[in-house]
């Protein structure tokens, strides 16, 4: 906290006083932002390597998304689904064409897409697969993160996400991540779906073994089980593919998107599926007051356009490789492993990651620890070569400045 100004300290104190303490933020009070850069209330500049956990793939305040937001805000912002609006059809058409799915269900936050998928998978299990009512099982994976609702934490294996929040929703079967044999063994006649992150972001950027996703997908098809991919964090270019599942040529039955779908301006999420699956939902069975609102749909179309038109998928692949290469060249004895894909990078350290995070903050880089010994580096995909150079130089300096003792 030593370099915080009086002014910054005051904001933090007020938040601590009046806000629930559910996060452990960096000592950084942001005043404004643009592209990959953040400025704090004292005018200091930081390269944003958090990117709101991948919700800022297009960078801060992208002008094209900003323009779409303002234009729509001047027309109509909210209708509810009690009537039609002219943005939602455009958004649905754009999104399904880009992703290759038949239908989409728009919601707001990521966890709502997760909830939608759970309902959809269970419905499919009963209506199509013929599972006996109330007995459907969804296989989930140790270390998963699918959000914070009761259903999502019912699926979690992380103690602090669950402690004293029970009773939990039944029907989630946790198995080890990355082990296709364990998946095959866990499937029963009651299994309707697996719910899987193609790379586990919150768990510390855990990349499964090569071929795992492809095998898991084949196992699902063989046993008539839906493959539900949570690409809320990995999707929309982050990992150097449009979707992380593309890397292994896997086409999920149900695809969940959020975060970057809102282009850093607005919460937008979606659940995508074939007509056979999505068509099982009837009027009145699921919904959200704000889901598919015209402001969200205008923003999301622009958010998708920016990813495609600016070649951000290829950019993520290129920039990610540069950072990995640069990190290896730094050859710090404090780094025990570098993993990830594209611009979703986890640096496993021999010392608590919070120390590196603080050293970076002093040098103008905002990066957050995830779990105790992993630093996540995930800048906006619009990062340019000069900004990559800036980042690698600061990483080298910060690592060199850290004491080696654990």
Q: How many residues bind ligand PLP (CB under 6 A)?
A: 16
Question: Using CB under 6 A, which residues numbered 39 to 58 contact ligand PLP?
Answer: 53
Question: Could you tell me the sign of the dihedral formed by the alpha carbons of 357, 205, 23, 304, in that order?
Answer: positive
**Is the peptide bond between 345 and the residue preceding it cis, with omega within 30 degrees of 0?**
no
Contact between 122 and ligand PLP per CB under 6 A = no
Residue 273 bridge partners (DSSP): 103, 254
Binding to ligand PLP by residue 187, rule CB under 6 A?
A: no
Structure tokens at 333: 């004895």
> Which one of 188-196, 197-205, 316-324, 383-391 is the stretch in contact with ligand PLP (CB under 6 A)?
197-205
48, 129, 243, 259: which is the annotated catalytic residue?
259
Question: What torsion, rounded to 10 degrees, do the Cα atoms 161, 166, 172, 176 define?
Answer: 40
Stretch that binds ligand PLP, among 195-203, 240-248, 354-362, 393-401 (CB under 6 A): 195-203
Q: Which residues are within 8 A (CB) of 40 and not within 5 positions of it... i.e. 6 or more apart?
A: 8, 28, 29, 30, 31, 46
Q: Is 3 a catalytic residue?
A: no
Taking the least distance from each CB to ligand PLP, the nearer of 259 and 315 is: 259
Q: Rounded to an integer, what distance in angstroms lies between the CA atom of residue 260 and that of residue 265?
A: 9
For ligand PLP, give the closer residue by CB, 220 or 261: 261
Check residue 109 for interaction with ligand PLP (CB under 6 A).
yes
Burial of 302: CB neighbours in 10 Å, binned 0-12, 13-18, 19+ = buried
Picking from 14, 13, 19, the residue whose alpha carbon sits closest to that of residue 1 is: 13
Which of 207, 232, 323, 361 touches ligand PLP (CB under 6 A)? 232
Q: Which is nearer to ligand PLP, 295 or 351 (CB)?
A: 295
Provide the minimum distance between the beta carbon of 22 and ligand PLP in the complex, in angstroms, as a whole number: 12
Q: How far apart are CA 358 and CA 210, in angstroms?
A: 34
- CA distances, 76 to each of 63, 86, 164, 244, 276 (Å): 20, 10, 43, 35, 33
The active-site residue out of 230, 241, 253, 369 is 230
Per-residue binding string, ligand PLP, 147-176, x by CB under 6 A, is x-----------------------------
Distance CA 182, CA 152 (A): 22
- The helix or strand, by DSSP H or E, that contains position 64, with its residue range, turns out to be helix 63-73
With contact defined as beta carbons under 8 Å apart, do 310 and 285 qualify?
no
Contact stretch for ligand PLP (CB under 6 A) within 44-52, 104-112, 155-163, 356-364: 104-112
Q: Which stretch binds ligand PLP (CB under 6 A): 196-204, 214-222, 332-340, 358-366?
A: 196-204
Tell me the backbone φ, ψ of residue 245, rounded to 5 degrees: -65, -25
Taking the complex as a whole, the smallest distance from the CB of residue 107 to ligand PLP amounts, in Å, to: 9
Note whether 117 binds ligand PLP by CB under 6 A.
no
In the set 91, 141, 145, 265, the catalytic residue is 145
Contact code string over 206-225 relative to ligand PLP, x by CB under 6 A: --------------------
Rule CB under 6 A: which residues touch ligand PLP?
53, 109-111, 114, 145-147, 197, 201-202, 230, 232-233, 258-259
Q: Which residues are part of the catalytic machinery?
A: 145, 230, 259
């Amino acid at each position: 906290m030593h370099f915080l100004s009086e002014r910054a300290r005051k904001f933090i104190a007020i938040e601590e006083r009046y806000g629930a303490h559910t996060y452990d933020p960096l000592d950084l009070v942001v005043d404004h932002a643009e592209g990959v850069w953040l400025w704090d209330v004292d005018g200091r500049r930081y390269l944003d390597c958090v990117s709101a956990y991948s919700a800022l793939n297009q960078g801060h305040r992208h002008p094209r998304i900003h323009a779409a937001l303002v234009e729509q805000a001047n027309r109509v912002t909210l209708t509810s689904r009690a009537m039609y609006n002219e943005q939602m059809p455009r958004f649905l058409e754009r999104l399904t064409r880009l992703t290759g799915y038949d239908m989409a269900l728009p919601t707001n936050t990521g966890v709502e897409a997760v909830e939608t998928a759970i309902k959809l998978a269970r419905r499919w299990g009963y209506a199509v697969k013929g599972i006996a009512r109330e007995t459907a099982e969804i296989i989930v994976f140790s270390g998963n993160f699918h959000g914070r609702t009761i259903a999502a934490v019912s699926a979690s294996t992380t103690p602090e996400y669950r402690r004293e929040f029970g009773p939990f929703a039944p029907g989630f079967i946790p198995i080890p991540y990355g082990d296709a044999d364990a998946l095959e063994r866990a499937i029963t006649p009651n299994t309707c779906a697996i719910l899987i992150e193609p790379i586990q972001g919150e768990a510390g950027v855990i990349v499964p073994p090569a071929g795992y996703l492809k095998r898991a997908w084949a196992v699902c098809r063989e046993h008539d089980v839906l493959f539900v991919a949570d690409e809320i964090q990995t999707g929309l270019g982050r990992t150097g593919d449009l979707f992380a599942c593309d890397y292994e040529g896997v086409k999920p039955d149900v695809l969940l998107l959020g975060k970057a779908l809102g282009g850093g301006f607005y919460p937008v999420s979606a659940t995508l599926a074939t007509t056979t699956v999505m068509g099982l939902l009837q009027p009145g069975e699921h919904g959200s007051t704000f889901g598919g609102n015209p402001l969200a749909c205008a923003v999301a179309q622009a958010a998708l356009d920016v990813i495609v038109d600016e070649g951000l998928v290829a950019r993520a692949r290129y920039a990610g490789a540069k950072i990995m290469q640069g990190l290896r060249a730094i050859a710090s004895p404090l780094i025990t492993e570098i993993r990830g894909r594209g611009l979703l990078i986890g640096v496993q350290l021999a010392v608590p990651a919070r120390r590196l995070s603080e050293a970076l903050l002093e040098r103008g880089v905002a990066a957050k620890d995830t779990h105790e010994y992993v630093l996540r580096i995930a800048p906006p995909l619009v990062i340019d070569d000069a900004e990559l150079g800036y980042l690698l130089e600061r990483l080298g300096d910060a690592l060199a400045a850290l004491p080696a003792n654990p």
